[in-house]
Amino acid sequence: MGSVMSDTECPKCKFPYAWCDYYYKSGEQYIFCDRCGFSHSVELIRDPKYGNQIKLQAEQLIKEGKIEEALKITGNTGWTRSVPLGDGKSKDVPIAEWTDEEKIKTIQDTRFNRFCKKDKDGNFVWDVKRNGGFGSYHQLSERGGGVGGHFITKWGAKKTIKEMKKFLKRHKKFKGVMTATKKINGKWYMIDLKTDKRYEIPMDIDYDLWMKYKSGRFE
C-alpha cells in the first residue's frame, strides 16, 4: 500500500513542520507534531469477520468454476504482471489473461483480514482519533537510532520527563541525547534533559535548524 510522507501544518499549534503520512490508495492519514506532540489519525476500520465471509464466498465460486466472479468480490481484477519479450523488452499482462491456476492462487493469497468494515449503505467506516498537544520527547542513542513519543496529558508529560531524568542520573555514562518539548509562558521550548537548557522553537524556525534541534544538536 503506497504512501506519501511530507511536512504539513499542525492542526493544533500551527507549527509548519508536523509530519504527515498519507496512504493515497486507501485514503488513510497520520499526522504527528514533534513540537506540541499533537497526533491525528484517520484509519479504515478492519473487519476480519466480513473478510472471512468474502473468503468463503470466493471458495464457493471457485468450486462452481466462476473464477472471474471470485476475482471481482475479492478485489483482484486490477492485477497485471510483466512478461519479458526479449531484447530487454516486456509487456504487462492483465489478470484476465492469466491461467485459471494463476488466478486462483492470487485469490487464495488475498489478505482477507484486511477487508474493511462498511455501513448499511456500503460506505467505508472510518476511525478518527485526535489527541496530545502537551509536548513530545525524544531519546537518541550515540549511534543515531532512538525512540520518541508524545504527551497525551500534562500529568503524563511531567511523569515521563521525571522518569527520563531519573534514567540519566542512574546511567551517567549514557552518551545519547534526551530532549522534551514544553510550552512555557505561551512559547514552545526544546529542553535538553541532561543540562536543563532550554531552546526556544519559534514558529518561523528554519527547517534545517529544526532538524538539528530534533536530534539534540543545539549549537
d(CA 200, CA 180): 12
State percent of the chain over pLDDT 70: 99
Residue-wise pLDDT tens digits, 191-215: 999 889 999 999 999 899 888 887 7
Are the C-beta atoms of 45 and 125 separated by less than 8 Å? yes
User: CB 196: neighbour CB atoms within 10 A?
Assistant: 8
- Confidence at 110, pLDDT banded by 50, 70, 90: very high
Sequence spans of domains, the chain? 4-43+129-214, 48-114
Q: Give whichever of 56-70, 163-177, 204-218 has the largest mean pLDDT.
A: 56-70
d(CA 140, CA 214): 9
Average pLDDT over residues 83-87: 82
Residue-wise pLDDT tens digits, 111-166: 888 888 888 898 889 999 999 999 999 888 777 677 888 999 988 888 999 999 99
Whole-structure pTM value? 0.74
In this prediction, residue 1 carries a pLDDT of 55
